[in-house]
Amino acid sequence: MASWPGEDVYARNLFGELLPSEGLPFVYTPFSAALLSVTSLLPAQTSFVLWTTGCVATLAFIIGVCLPRSLPRRRTIWLTLLLLGCCTTIVAQHLVWGQINLFLAGLCLADFVRHTNGRWSRFVPKGVLIGIAAGIKLTPAIFIPYLLITRQWRMAVSAVAGFAGTVIIGGILFPTMSVTYWFSDVWQLSSKVDLGTQFASAGNNSIQGAAAAIGHWAVSPSKVIVIVVAVLGLFAGAKIFRAGQMLAAVLAVGMTASLVSPVSWLHHWVYLIPALVVLWFLGRKPTRVFVAAAALVLLIHGTDLGEHMLQNGPTLLAPLGILLRESLLLISVSTIGLFLALRSRPSPPAAAILDHRPVEGIPART
């Protein structure tokens, strides 16, 4: 955890006991600066333990959302998947660096799966949590156009209102910092997030990161690909949603955000873990073989292994090294494609259909 500098948080790097000696830039919104400043009130080790515990608890919630309620030995499977999830390269990096992405995914998924007319929805309309998540870090804002495309008008309006509320609160608390962020830093985030030299590293599995690994000349053309993938990802999510697979649709859009972001570190791909869980229960044997293989790649930290093979292995293994190095990108694209292909297929007898709650726009599946 970083220490609060007591000045413009965007003016210099943050430093802390558990951070690199050169510090790290703060790239989140002024609203998130207000929220995260609470962690500096506690000793670094205490904040780290509490933060890590919260991340694991949120991962448990996310996995629980993805498991069919009628699943035999559900609790045992839940705990097993939680343990395996914590061992993946995604969550391991998330916990080591004290990241926030699991919390944001938890907020968004909680918004999507809760009852429209539930107790909490009377005070916090569905969509507000998505807006708050986007107000902490901009990436979840991809769900707003998704809500518009799927005609979930009330959620979309609530999400915009929630986001606007965070901007207003941040502006009241930190007026100068808000001007700096919204009128300057927000347009330079990719150059700050890549830490100067890491854009083309194995840790950045976004489309632009993969293109940069090919060569600097490929970065500009890849921006066109990013726009195409963003549009295709949103409309794929809409098709999946209209087929009744609400959770799969949300996860597809979440993965799309990591694909199209200029910088998507390993710990950004938090939607991939629940996506594989959902895909397991939607598919049959060939799909489950893919899920098992993908899970193995995540558990052996395939991105690092692929980078090692490319740097130190024989030329013969270079194709495998490339596949592993960009494995998060490739697995996510494949998972979205499988969600799309399976959107209308009835679940096999061995995999009961996911017990999705009623959501705006489609009925609950039975």
Query: Residue 4 corresponds to which amino acid?
Result: W
State the angle between helix axes of 128-136 and 153-173 in degrees (0 to 180), rounded to the nearest 10.
40
Which positions ≥6 away from 177 have C-beta within 8 Å?
8, 9, 10, 30, 33, 170
pLDDT at 143: 98
3-state helix, strand, coil in the chain (%, to 5): 70, 0, 30
pLDDT at 317: 93
- Which structure tokens are listed for 196? 């100067």
With a cut of 50, which residues of the chain have pLDDT below it? 1-5, 347-366
- Which structure tokens are listed for 358? 């009623």
Residue 98: left (phi > 0), alpha (psi -120 to 50), or beta? left
Spans of all domains in the chain: 38-341
pLDDT at 2: 46
- For 150-174, give one letter per residue: b (16+ CB within 10 A) or e: bebeebbbbbbebbeebbebbbeeb
CA-nearest of 180, 130, 137 to 159 is 130
Residue 359, classed as helix, strand or coil, is strand
Which positions ≥6 away from 225 have C-beta within 8 Å?
207, 211
Q: CA torsion sign, 64 to 66 to 71 to 72? A: negative
Q: Give the residues across from 25 on adjacent strands.
A: none
Q: CA 348 to CA 319: how far, in whole Å? A: 35
Q: CA 131 to CA 138: how far, in whole Å? A: 9
* pLDDT tens figures, 91-102: 999 999 899 999
* pLDDT tens figures, 282-292: 999 999 999 99
Check if the beta carbon of residue 144 is closer than 8 Å to that of residue 134.
Answer: yes
pLDDT at 365: 40
pLDDT at 166: 98
CA-nearest of 308, 212, 328, 222 to 266 is 328
CA-nearest of 7, 31, 1 to 138 is 31
Phi, psi of 113 (to 5 degrees): -95, -10
pTM as predicted: 0.90
CA-nearest of 208, 243, 201, 209 to 223 is 208
Name the helix (H) or strand (E) containing 182.
helix 175-183
- Which structure tokens are listed for 32? 């998130």
Q: CA 240 to CA 244: how far, in whole Å? A: 7
DSSP letter for 24, please: B
Q: CA 3 to CA 13: how far, in whole Å? A: 10
Check if the beta carbon of residue 360 is closer than 8 Å to that of residue 156.
Answer: no
